[in-house]
Structure 1
Amino acid sequence: MNKAVFLDRDGVINEVLTKRVKFVNKPADLYFLPRVPEAIKKLNTYFDYIFVVTNQGGVGLGFMKEAQLQKIHDYMIAQLAKEGAIIHEAVYCPHKPKAGCACRKPSSKMIIDLAEKYNIDLGKSYMVGDTDTDIIAGKNAGAKGVFLGKDDPRADAIFPDLYSAVDWMIVDSQ
């Protein structure tokens, strides 16, 4: 079986709610956080797959169409690839917050669906996020939770940013 890292998007890979950008509604709004391409490239050498798993309620709320979201993800994946950092697939929940859908984190459906599709051993995989819903989704799927921020009591590890978390995940996964 394969091992993977599941990454939330906003606040893990790219800026959101900063001076430069409020929300990412078009490719020009996507700014990588420091050292993200380098972190993903390093993860690529130790993990079979790297995925993006993201709630994108802006689609359900009418701020963008799914086609526009796909352009953002295509752009993100292409820009990372230019740096040698590979994202194997980006999946999202397009529904409004509190819509009651099966896919929105903290539900683990997106993670479990990817695990089944790519033969992932969730016990040897990680969900990295900056909210409790990310950690809950990962833990409910059977993955370890890595929280980026100050504190989440459910997380297996806490780091200030993705790059800081990489070495811990690599060592822990061996």
Structure 2
Amino acid sequence: MAQLGNRTYDTLFLDRDGIINRLRPGDYVKSWDEFEFLPGALNALTKCNAMFRRILVVTNQRGVGKGLMTRQALDEIHRRMLQTIAAHGGRIDKIYCCTGLSENDPCRKPNIGMALQAQKEFPEIDFASALMVGDTSSDLLFGRNAGMHTVLIGEDNPQADYISLHQFSASLL
């Protein structure tokens, strides 16, 4: 279990773009060739492997909904991402993604549909003992709306439980 401040966490929810891989401002990661792990992300995920019972990715992927990429291309990116993480000693237990375009889609962050899917699949998840790490206010609200504690990376926001102005991997190194 991970200790942060005076709290203990057993489940880690991570955003993907901007946390695990380099964000492409104004664009989407549409193929494995465009996917680039952030420096230190693989090492950080290896450390998280020992710290958390569950590690889950929750990601909005509008590029599929906009027709800029196929669901098969997204699945291939995730398959290769998981293989690379595992080859470096890390793990992700499951990736949940929302490809819908509507802000009212129950699975689209900041709505908590992906968190509820995870809890249904892994009933031991207690949101009060979960940590959401993201780089946008949508990630922060997703975690808050589900009753998680939150870490906002790279942005000073007084609503976050914890703030790191460094990337995710730097906060664990």
Is residue 25 of structure 1 aligned with residue 35 of structure 2?
no
TM-score by length of 2: 0.88
1:70-126 C-alpha deviation (Å, 9 max, x unpaired): 001001111111101101111100112x35211100001101220232121111111
**RMSD value, Cα:** 1.7
Is residue 137 of structure 1 aligned with residue 142 of structure 2?
yes
SS in 2 for 1:123: helix
TM-score by length of 1: 0.88
Identify the range of structure 1 (60-69 vs 9-18) with the bigger mean alpha-carbon deviation: 9-18
User: How many percent identity over aligned positions?
Assistant: 36
Is residue 56 of structure 1 aligned with residue 61 of structure 2?
yes
Is residue 116 of structure 1 aligned with residue 120 of structure 2?
yes
Unaligned runs of 5+ in 1: 168-174
Unaligned runs of 5+ in 2: 1-8
Give how far 1:134 is off: 0.3
1:31-83 C-alpha deviation (Å, 9 max, x unpaired): 00011111111111011011110000001000011111100100111111110
Q: How many residues align?
A: 163
Structure with greater strand percent = 2
> What residue number does 2:5 align with?
none
> What residue number does 1:16 align with?
23
Asked if structure 1 preserves the Cα contact closer than 8 Å seen for 2:14 and 2:134, the reply is: yes
Give how far 1:22 is off: 4.4
Asked if structure 2 preserves the Cα contact closer than 8 Å seen for 1:3 and 1:122, the reply is: no
Query: For the residues of structure 2 that align with 1:155 and 1:47, how far apart are their CA atoms?
Result: 20
> Deviating runs (4+, > 6 A) in structure 1?
none
